């Protein structure tokens, strides 16, 4: 859309909001499953260091991935602001040409 010069700010904002909501759902589900797996990791008699280490490493990995998603969300809203500015500029130029 951006490269085709379609300056529809509402569409860009809608896209950014949908992406943000999808990332929030993924965040909640991943944390929920991580917490729910505590019972399986702590109570089952497997005594495996691999199971404990994988369970512990999932939280920092999830946090790193969510940190990168925050930057993507910021970029998407920045693009939407840029499109809104360009749409206003193109409206102004069209009005100038018709006068």
Q: Map out the domains of the chain as residue ranges.
A: 11-92
Q: The tokens of 71 are what?
A: 């930057």
| Three-state helix/strand/coil letters over 10-70 | HHHHHHHHHHHHHHHHHHHHHHHHHHHHHHHHHHCCCCCHHHHHHHHHHHHHHHHHHHHHH
Look at residue 92 in the predicted model and tell me its pLDDT.
67
Question: Would you write out the chain's pLDDT as a tens digit for each of its 99 residues?
Answer: 555 666 678 899 999 999 999 999 999 999 999 998 888 887 777 677 888 888 889 989 998 999 999 999 999 999 999 988 888 887 765 554 443
| Structure-block tokens of residue 18 | 């949908």
How far out from the chain centre does Cα 69 lie?
4
pTM beyond 0.75, yes or no: no
């Amino acid at each position: 859309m951006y490269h085709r010069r379609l300056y529809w700010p509402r569409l860009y904002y809608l896209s950014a909001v949908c992406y943000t909501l999808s990332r929030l759902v993924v965040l909640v589900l991943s944390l929920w499953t991580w917490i729910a797996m505590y019972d399986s990791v702590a109570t089952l008699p497997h005594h495996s260091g691999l199971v404990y280490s994988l369970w512990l490493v999932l939280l920092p990995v999830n946090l790193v991935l969510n940190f990168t998603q925050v930057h993507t969300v910021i970029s998407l809203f920045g693009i939407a602001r840029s499109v809104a500015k360009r749409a206003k500029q193109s409206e102004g130029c069209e009005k100038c040409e018709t006068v």
